[in-house]
Structure 1
Amino acid sequence: MEPSSPQGSNHFSVLSSYSACDVSDALLKLQQQDSGEILHAGYLADIVPYAPFPQHLGSFKGQPKVIGPASTLKLVARNSITSPLPESGPNAIPKGQHWVDLTDEGTVMVIEQPEGQSCAAIGGIMALRMKTRGAKGCVVGGRVRDLEELNNCGLPVWARGKSTVGAGAQSKVFGRNIDVTIGGVRISPGDIIFCDPLEGVVAIPRNLLDKVISMVPKLVAADEKIKGDLQRGGNAASAFRTHRG
């Protein structure tokens, strides 16, 4: 399935006035809990900005939120017995082509990297090509490298960590625009990726986007009332009962 954004950029504009925490609050109410399931509320744990301004080089102040539909790439271990998807399939990389040359314009590329790898999933060259292909950003469930190049190319890049080693040392491509998982959160092509430089990254299932858009203002308004009660000397228990129900 190709990534798409049927709701349009107006929804993204509305979302941008809220935080990733507000979005997760809405998802926590909307998503159903199965027995024993951990509710992630869309949060991609430990994913932080590495470009254009990584946290260790400057402030988050002034960094814009990045919001867009997901396109996806799944990597598997190089020595895995798992074979890439057939080259003739819609989600494979055709013979003689590179996955980065197939980057979908207007999307946030989401890359699943096998847990525990010390290599990088992308570096400066991949980021530059994604940028020239019109990607809005890249979220890596793993590591990145070439930080100076990442920052120079202007593509917002988020990841768990960094490395000096290229992806080929430990990884190979399995397929593109298929479901991927980062930190226990399943992401499908076309789901909405909400990158908040201050708070973190949240994935919104596209079938819940309209409901999130509708619910977030109500939750934020309730929180403002709670804070107002507390500033006037009220107690938290009463304020939560009154405004959150």
Structure 2
Amino acid sequence: MSSLTERLERCYTGVVHDVMRAMSLRDFTLPPELRPILPERAMAGPAFTIMGKVDPDADAHETLLGWTGLLSKAPSGSIWVSQPNDRVVAHMGELSAETLKNKGVRGCVADGLIRDVNFLMEMEFQTWSRGHTPRDIVGHWLPAAIEVDIKIGDVVIQPGDYMLGDRDGLIRVPAALVEEIIDKAETAIATENKVRTAILSGVDPQEAYLKFGKF
């Protein structure tokens, strides 16, 4: 795990969001309908992006060949981030997650549905989705491109942009700014700890805010 991934995963989405808002960045919070199967676990890492398309005329062999090809290309240390352009079939399941976890992939974000959720939870492969279905991709869906810009909600995710997810939600951190954002988030967390200590010792909340510039 890279030091940037490790440091970002120790932050939390609220403070990173506030840092990015203060930097006048926009459109980096993914839709709240995307939820994790392991809400107690944070997830961070650079995005391996996938674009897909529905093709009801595709045959079973073609769809499975395309899917397994995707699995082969996912790099260790990345997060699988998929815009399948489909909310009918599952875009992550047990065998795929086993494959990705074994390769060192840190988790999955699918702007669609997933399946085999009990198995994914048992193997602790953090997976974000909009819901679950037992139906698979066979004869229905094909990959269109990898490592291209994709859009989830209002958020454009470029290959290598960092993702951070926790119980509160998911955000995208631009690759070009990730180190600066992590530095600022770590500083903000240290300041928040001082505010918390002051509040717990009975300092008035407004007084604490005026002293530390944060609340």
Shorter-normalised TM-score: what interval?
Answer: 0.7 to 0.9
Q: Cα distance 1:234–1:206, how it changes in 2: closer, same or farther (>3 A)? A: same
Aligned residues, how many?
206
Shift of 1:121: 1.4
Q: TM-score, normalised by structure 2?
A: 0.80
Deviations 1:57-90 (A, max 9, x none): xxx2xx4x3322111111123369xxxxxxxxxx
> Aligned partner of 1:143: which letter?
L
Which aligned pairs between 1:1-245 and structure 2 lie closer than 5 A? 9-32=2-25, 39-50=26-37, 53=38, 60=40, 63=41, 65-78=42-55, 98-114=69-85, 117-168=87-138, 170-196=140-166, 198-228=167-197, 230-231=199-200, 232-236=202-206, 239-244=208-213
> Aligned partner of 2:153: which letter?
G
Q: 2 CA distance for matches of 1:164 and 1:174?
A: 23
> Aligned partner of 1:181: which letter?
K
Matched position secondary structure for 1:167: coil
> Aligned partner of 1:75: which letter?
G
Gaps (5+ residues) in structure 2? 58-64
Q: Which residue of 2 aligns with 1:91?
A: none
Q: TM-score, normalised by structure 1?
A: 0.71
Structure with the larger helix share: 2
The RMSD of aligned alpha carbons is 2.9
| 1:180 and 1:188 in contact (8 A); partners too | yes
Matched position secondary structure for 2:189: helix
Q: Cα distance 1:114–1:240, how it changes in 2: closer, same or farther (>3 A)? A: farther
Gaps (5+ residues) in structure 1? 1-7, 33-38, 81-93
